[in-house]
Structures are given as C-alpha cells and as structure tokens.
Amino acid sequence: MLTHNPYKPQNWEIKKIIDETPDVKTFRLFQRGVRPFIYKPGQFVEISIPGAGEAPISITSTPTRPDYLELSIKKTGKVTGLLHGLSMGDVVNIRGPYGRGFPVDELKGEDLLFVAGGIGLAPLRSVINYVLDRRASYGEVIVLYGARSYDDLVFKDDLALWGSRRDMNLLATVDAGCDEWSDREEGWCGRVGVVTTLFSECKMDSARHLCLICGPHIMIKFALAGLMEAGFKPSRIITTLERMMKCGIGKCGHCNIGPKYVCQDGPVFTMEEISRLYEAL
Ligand SMILES: Cc1cc2nc3c(=O)[nH]c(=O)nc-3n(C[C@H](O)[C@H](O)[C@H](O)COP(=O)(O)OP(=O)(O)OC[C@H]3O[C@@H](n4cnc5c(N)ncnc54)[C@H](O)[C@@H]3O)c2cc1C
Ligand code: FES
C-alpha cells in the first residue's frame, strides 16, 4: 500500500520573479505536481535545492488567490543565495504547507491592527490580502509598516493599492538616519521614524483592535512594549516566531522552545502563549 511521504517535495515552476529590495525577491510559483495545495495564511513551506539544502519560508500569497503560490525570500546564506540565482522557468522543490497559521476564521468580525517591519510583512501580507478578498467578514483594517529605508520597503505594488483603498488604513514609515540614507529617501514624502511612532497616529484602541505583528526581533520587542502600555491584552496580540528548523513536522526537535515545537505548534502564537514559554522572545 502506498503511504503519503511528508518529506517528498513537489515540483513548482518559477513563473515570475519580482525584485522587492536589493536582497529580497518574490517568486511566483505554479505547481507541476498533482496534489492540491491547500494552506492558511501564516503557514510555511520547506523549499529546497538538491545538493544545497532546505529553508523554511512563509507563504506570502493568499489562499483566496489559488492559481499560484508566492514566497518572498531574503538572501542570507547558502540556500537563499542559490534561490536568488534562479530564473523564470526554473523548477524548485517544495514540501508543506506546515505549521499553525493565523486563525482567520476566529478573526471574523474583529477590528484588525497589523504591525509589520521589513520582510516581516511577508506572512502578514497573506492575511491582509485574505481579509481584503473577504472584506465584508472583517471589521476595520489598519496596517502599520516600517522599513529601514525606501529601498527596503517590500511589496510596493500592494502598498500603493492598500494606500488607495478607502476601506482600510495604511501608514508606512522609514527609519531616519540609517546608513543607507540616500537621495531616494529625500524623495520619500511619507513618514520618517520607527514603526512604533505610528501608534499615536493610527487611533488604535486596545478595547477593540486585535493586533497581528511580524518583523525583526527588536521591532517585536518595542512594539509589544508599546501595545502593552496601550492596554492590549496578551491574548489579543498574535505574532510569529522563527527558529532554526530541519524537518518542519515536529520530528527532529531542532525548533523546540520548552515543550513546544515552533514548526508544529507555531509559528503563529498569541502573546499569552509566548509568555508561558521560557526565552521565546
Ligand atoms: C517559519 C519560518 C518562516 C520563515 N519565513 C521566511 C520568509 O518568508 N522569507 C525569508 O527570507 N526568510 C524566512 N525565514 C528565514 C529563512 O528560513 C532563513 O533565512 C533561511 O533558512 C536561511 O537559509 P540559508 O541556507 O540561505 O542560510 P544559511 O547559510 O543556513 O545561514 C545564513 C544565516 O542565516 C541564519 N539563519 C538560518 N536559518 C535561520 C532561521 N530559521 N531563522 C533565523 N536565522 C536563520 C544563519 O544563522 C546564518 O547566520 C523563515 C524562517 C522560519 C523558521
Ligand atoms: S523542525 Fe523538526 S521538530 Fe521542528
């Protein structure tokens, strides 16, 4: 009898490559295999290059647009470096989807506040576009997004679209005084400052909003402090954790934090859950 092999990847063909920033590319992929690919925003895949290795990458597309899968990948090392060298028509191996995604059904009717930093917008973009594609099912949508510089803002097409919609509110900012401060920033007519400076401007309300955060560790730390000070309950703040991973399916123990496996019990956790995990953040 044939059994499903969870480690067996499927072939996906690269149909489009978008240069988001100098070191982030978005790959739009079409599946060549036969298994339908069903996923939730917040889940991740393991993408591999034979002979080089695998990398866990969040899905940035939304299941409401099922014709393709999108992954936004920052070049940081061996596998991601080789992925950046691929061209349209090349084939990559993908297994998954894995992990616990954002609870998009439980979020129905909620007023949502998204806080993202840098490439941390990738998993949140999946939820934001999911919510926008089912707009009537959700309450207010506020997106706060910060990047180091204009060049580091990812998904500029989405940002332009979200900024033009009247049924949501996008506030974007770039850090001031960073090393890469260039002529481009001088042309940036948006806000300047770290993402938490947008808190006072966005009229967030801890009694009403449910907050979803993703970004670099330092941003999450400061954002959490600001949200707690504003009165948000830990059960109403949801974030994602990153850990080194191997199997992605709760077998190897590489990603554990105490009794939890980030690959299986996460990567999406409420702050209430995280507060019970020693040194999770
Ligand atoms: C659930 C999950 C979702 C992720 N989603 C994305 C995404 O959407 N886009 C994206 O660009 N990256 C994402 N990452 C990070 C990505 O997996 C790593 O950057 C990648 O595995 C590095 O592989 P590499 O072979 O290119 O680098 P390596 O040569 O293995 O390492 C290069 C550097 O990256 C560090 N590194 C490797 N793996 C991780 C990791 N898991 N977390 C933090 N640092 C790491 C290494 O310590 C080293 O400093 C995600 C990680 C997890 C766990
Ligand atoms: S990556 Fe193997 S247990 Fe999580």
Tokens 């070191």 -> residue: 23
Place of tokens 């590489």: 254
Integer CA distances (angstroms), 202 to 129, 142, 255, in order = 20, 8, 35
Q: Which-ligand-closest: CA of 54? A: 1
Q: Ligand 2 in contact with 257 (CB < 6 A)? A: no
Residue 126 predicted with pLDDT over 50:
yes
Sign of CA dihedral 46, 49, 54, 57: negative
pLDDT for 71 equals: 98
Three-class SS string for 151-219? HHCCCHHHHHHHHHCCCCEEEEEECCCCCCCCHHHHCCCCEECCHHHHCCCCCCCCCCEEEEEECCHHH
Q: If we measure between CA atoms, which residue out of 147, 42, 27 comes closest to residue 82?
A: 27
Write down the number of H helices and E strands in the chain: 7, 15
Closest ligand 1 atom, residue 73 Cα:
11
Nearest-atom index, ligand 2, CA of 245: 1
- Residue 32: what pLDDT? 66
Nearby residues of 134 by Cβ (< 8 Å), 6 or more positions away? 64
**pLDDT tens across 163-196, in order?**
999 999 999 999 864 444 444 555 566 788 899 9
Higher pLDDT, residue 176 or 8? 8
Q: Vertex 61, ends 280 and 165: CA angle to 5°?
A: 105
Query: 111-240 — its CATH code?
Result: 3.40.50.80
Which pLDDT score, from 0 to 100, does residue 145 have? 96
Q: Does the pLDDT at position 10 exceed 70?
A: yes
**Which ligand has the nearest atom to the CA of 99?**
1
Nearest 10 degrees: CA dihedral of 221, 55, 158, 41? -80
Is the CB–ligand 2 distance for residue 243 below 6 Å?
Answer: no
Pairing status of strand 10-21 against strand 24-31: antiparallel
The neighbouring-strand residues paired with 24 are: 21, 74
Q: Is 252 in the pocket of ligand 2 (CB under 6 A)?
A: yes
pLDDT digits (tens, 9 = 90+) for 247-270: 999 999 999 998 999 999 999 999
Q: Where residue 106 falls among pLDDT bands split at 50, 70, 90?
A: very high
The rounded percent of the chain whose pLDDT value lies above 90 is: 78
How far away, in angstroms, is 55 Cα from ligand 1 center?
A: 6
**Quick one: pLDDT at residue 179?**
43
The predicted structure's pLDDT at residue 189: 67
The residues lining ligand 1, judged by C-beta closer than 6 Å to any ligand atom, are 44, 53, 55-58, 72-74, 76-81, 119, 122, 242-245, 267
pLDDT of residue 51: 87
Cβ(245) to ligand 2 under 6 A? yes
What is the per-residue burial (b if ≥16 Cβ within 10 Å, else e) of 155-174? Answer: beebbeebeeeeebbbbbbb
CATH entry 1.10.1050.10 includes domain 10-98: no
Say which residue, 224 or 2, is predicted with more confidence: 224
CA of 70 to the centre of ligand 2 (A): 23
Query: Any idea which ligand is nearest the CA of 57?
Result: 1
Tell how far the Cα of 252 is from the centroid of ligand 2, in angstroms. 5
Q: What distance in angstroms lies between residue 255's CA and the mean position of ligand 2's atoms?
A: 5
Average pLDDT, rounded, for the chain: 91
Query: Per-residue pLDDT tens for 209-233?
Result: 999 999 998 999 999 999 999 999 9
Domain ranges of the chain: 10-98, 111-240
Closest C-alpha to 60, from 15, 102, 105: 102
Render pLDDT for 70-100 as a digit per residue (tens, 0 to 9): 999 999 999 999 999 999 999 999 999 999 9
Nearest residue (CA) to ligand 1, atom 36: 244
247: CA distance to ligand 1 center in Å?
Answer: 14
